[in-house]
Structure 1
């Protein structure tokens, strides 16, 4: 039973079917095919306006290239100190920004607040020795499983407008956040001031497909060239875009995300009922972050359940992890099995009384 991530499973059957159909015959290369044209038009429908779309193979490429379009080499990109762009991409954003810098700010649950970002920006020197801020990047869902609500996004967007920053969203789990909030893609992005989006598909059913969606036209001007230099203009481009065709068809992407979020809620509710267990952060999408007794952690591992320990850096004020406790992350996907969730709960339940007795 593997709860380590939502990128450990393969693609969904519907996406694979679309990919198989696109594989037949010969079509123009490098995105000149009819499938890619159809999918780009579909993105316009999804976001209720004309957008520029660039297909890439990884989330790292999407984030790094998106930020490179918004931040010059002498500029600064503000993000959370635990954001994927600063913590988990081996410096790729800074590499593709040609020396620009990421500045990580604190925030509970890996979320930034408009007030905190504004205070930081106002405190920066305007002297030439200080790299000027050029972009804000947030993760939706955050690295601690929380979602930004539309009013929070709007407040951050307003700060960006006030200070002349481009607003980037890392949407690796975009669909999970969307169904959690019950809003439209437009309401979660450009209507709140988001200028450029890393639109994730791989974690929610695609085999290897991500997209950079640009709402601010000037940010799209050089992205074709940046993507080519990064090796992200794929010759058989239809095999990337076809995955999105299967992904969007019949709202497949919504169904996948709802399923993963439902299982996360089932797991979260079950663990929260156990003695000695509490949640570090609320379960708002497809990730669960329980603080569990060390004996329960041991029992789960001995049963062969895979997951990751998690950092305490963004815990709420007053929350601490005791010497006999562990903070872990459990992730659900479109391919997770409900029987595995119930088995994990059964094992955790059997370990909880022993901890209480001790």
Structure 2
């Protein structure tokens, strides 16, 4: 009974169907009809002109976006527990040819205007310090917490006032929109680039980097090629992304994953490290309690020494979800 990661979930049948339908001759790279349609589809979704570059991994999506914003001598402010800091093996520095991550704090792995302002104040005007050129936030955070539209707007305002470009790591952006019940535009604000996650939400190997400026998208395409990520049969990546958008499958899948996590979290009253706002449950537990769950067939990751991270997916088996809820309640 798998609760390790939404990366381990199945590919949605409609995504497979879209890939099979794309298996016909068309122009290579991103000159095919499907890839060319992405700008319009995302423009409709966000209500403003969009310029979309596909990538095969979330790491590439985040880092290609940041590489358009930050020179090698610059820096990116992010949370100290952000994925780009803790789980991408130095890829941001690799793709940007040396830019530094400038770490800030905030409860639940969420940045605040205060924490970002403090990071800026510590370096501004100091020739000995790397100067920030961009701000990157994660929606939802590494602890599964969603930034509200008001929180996003406050960070956007600060970034603009400070001359920073703004990037959103949206690996679980769909889960944030599903939880907030707002528009996609409100869930990310007037950012410069969004990594619109699909792989964790039912796709196989396609992520969309949504730029809201044409020049940045053009630069990202060049950097994508230089990094070896321009796939010759790119229509198969575009097909996956379009399938996720069709009929709001991306949102339906996220709602299903969120609902499963809510059910699990409901059985863990008093044991939650953080509120359940997406598809992740952080369960305060002892090593013995975690072993008891594993002995019953549940798979998940430890989170430090005193918690477990349990992740629900778009197709989490309802029987497995119910069994996990009962097992947690019985601890």
TM-score by length of 1: 0.89
CA deviation digits over 1:9-67, x for unaligned, max 9? 221011111111111x2111011111222233211111111111100000000011111
Runs of 4+ residues deviating >6 angstroms:
none
Alignment match, 1:299: 292
Alignment match, 1:287: 280
Pairs aligned (count): 331
Alignment match, 2:246: 249
Report 1:58-97 matches (<5 A): 58-97=57-96
Preserved contact between residue 102 and residue 119 of structure 2 (Cα < 8 Å): no
Q: C-alpha root-mean-square deviation of aligned residues, in Å?
A: 1.3
Q: Does 1:20 align with 2:13?
A: no
Alignment match, 1:140: 139
CA deviation digits over 1:193-217, x for unaligned, max 9? 3111111100001011101111134
CA deviation digits over 1:277-319, x for unaligned, max 9? 51111000110111024432121011221111114xxxxxxxx
Separation in 2 of the partners of 1:309 and 1:293?
10
Preserved contact between residue 267 and residue 326 of structure 2 (Cα < 8 Å): no
Alignment match, 2:311: 331
SS in 1 for 2:297: coil
Alignment match, 1:237: 234
Report 1:182-221 matches (<5 A): 182-189=181-188, 192-221=189-218
Alignment match, 1:105: 104
Separation in 2 of the partners of 1:266 and 1:348?
11
Alignment match, 2:263: 266
Unaligned runs of 5+ in 1: 312-324, 353-358
Change in CA separation of 1:215 and 1:146 when aligned onto 2, cut-off 3 Å: same
Alignment match, 1:6: 6
TM-score by length of 2: 0.97
Separation in 1 of the partners of 2:35 and 2:193?
20
Separation in 2 of the partners of 1:348 and 1:51?
44
Change in CA separation of 1:349 and 1:295 when aligned onto 2, cut-off 3 Å: farther
